[in-house]
Structure 1
Amino acid sequence: MQRTLVLLKPDAVQRRLMGQLIARFEAKGLNIIAMKMLQVTPELAKQHYAEHVDKPFYPSLESFITSAPIVALAIEGLDVIKVVRDMLGATNGLSAAAGTIRGDFSSSRQMNLVHASDGPEAAQRELSLYFEEAEICHYEPVLTPFMRASDE
């Protein structure tokens, strides 16, 4: 099992798409093991986007991510990092394929509704920014045997 962080960004919250987006992860058979709504502070934004802080676009990124609440999700599943990123589609909503979250709901590069960790190290670092270990709910859904074979 692998874990990843997904953020439903301010535009997803403001557009009231939270339920539809969460439903897609659940319908895929992924396990949401933690979830919370919070307001990202400038300090948290700097930690989360540390690799971008010195780039010219960072001020607008920070302004956007701190503009309204977000919903942070810890999601678990087989190859969940790749699965989730495939579900999101291309970063720019205008380029994202139909059927992906961004392809269906976004028409912007920055206001693209969701963030997801891009690799195992990023997932571990990002999850620790948003969740303490005590907030992670370890459980196996009773429908798991109907979602994948026992040897997967």
Structure 2
Amino acid sequence: MQRSLILLKPDCVQRRLIGEILSRFEAKGLQIVGLKMIQVTPELSRQHYAEHVEKPFYQSLEDFITSAPVVAVALEGLEAITVVRDMLGATNGLKAAPGTIRGDFSSSRQMNLVHASDSPESAERELNLYFQPNEFCEYSMNLTPFMRADDE
């Protein structure tokens, strides 16, 4: 089992696509174990995008991510990090394949609706930025045996 952070970014919230996108992750069998709407502050933006702070495009990235609320989601499932990133499609919505979230709803490189952790290390760091340990909900779904085999 893996956990991944996704952020439904300001464009997703403003376009009222929260439910549409969350339903895709649930339909895939990923389990929501943490969920909250927050306003990203400049400080949190700098922590989240630490590797980009010194780059020329950083200020526009911060301006965007702090422009409206985001929905922080902790997803859990088999190979969750790869599964989520495959479901999102290419970062640039114009290049994302139809059927992916970005391919179906985005036509921009920056306004691409969703951020997702790209590795187990990133997931751990990002989840710790957005969630306290007591904010994760551990629970069993009754339909898990119908979603994957016991040995997976």
Bin the TM-score by the shorter chain: over 0.9
Kindly indicate whether residue 114 of structure 2 is the aligned counterpart of residue 114 of structure 1: yes
Aligned match of 1:7: 7
Q: Give the Cα–Cα distance (whole angstroms) in 2 for the partners of residues 29 and 81 of structure 1.
A: 13
SS at match of 1:112: coil
In structure 2, the residue matched to 1:142 is 142
Corresponding residue for residue 102 of structure 1: 102
Seq. identity, %: 74
- Report the residue type matching 2:10 in the other structure: P
Q: What is the CA deviation profile of residues 28-63 of structure 1, one whole-angstrom value per residue up to 9, with x for unaligned ones? A: 000000000000000000000000000000000000
Report the count of equivalent residues.
152
What 5-or-longer segments of structure 1 have no aligned partner?
A: none
Q: Secondary structure at the match of 1:72?
A: strand
**CA–CA separation in structure 2 for the residues paired with 1:132 and 1:23:** 24
Structure 1: 4+ residue segments shifted above 2 A: none
Distance in 1 separating the partners of 2:140 and 2:3: 14
Amino acid at match of 1:133: P
Q: Which amino acid aligns with 1:32?
A: I
Q: Take 2:72 and 2:47, find their aligned partners in 1: how far apart are those partners?
A: 15
C-alpha displacement of 1:80: 0.3
Secondary structure of 1:108's partner?
A: coil
Aligned amino acid, residue 32 of structure 2: I
Q: So what's the TM-score if we normalise by structure 1?
A: 1.00
Q: For residues 59 and 140 of structure 1, what CA distance do their matches in structure 2 show?
A: 42
User: In structure 2, what residue type is equivalent to 1:84?
Assistant: V
Distance 2:90 2:140 in 1: 31
Instruction: Map residues 32-71 of structure 1 onto 2, 5 A cutoff.
Output: 32-71=32-71
What is the CA-CA distance between 1:140 and the residue it aligns to? 1.5
Matched residue, 1:75? 75
Unaligned runs of 5+ in 2: none
| Cα RMSD after superposing both structures | 0.3
Partner of residue 28, structure 2? 28
Q: CA deviation at 1:16?
A: 0.1
| Cα offsets for 1:86-111 (capped at 9, x unmatched) | 00000000000000000000000000
For residues 96-142 of structure 1, give each alpha carbon's deviation from its aligned partner in whole angstroms, at most 9, with x where no partner exists.
00000000000000000000000000000000000001000011111
In 2, distance between residues paired with 1:34 and 1:142? 18
**TM-score for the superposition, normalised by structure 2:** 1.00
Alpha-carbon separation, structure 1, partners of 2:110 and 2:78: 28
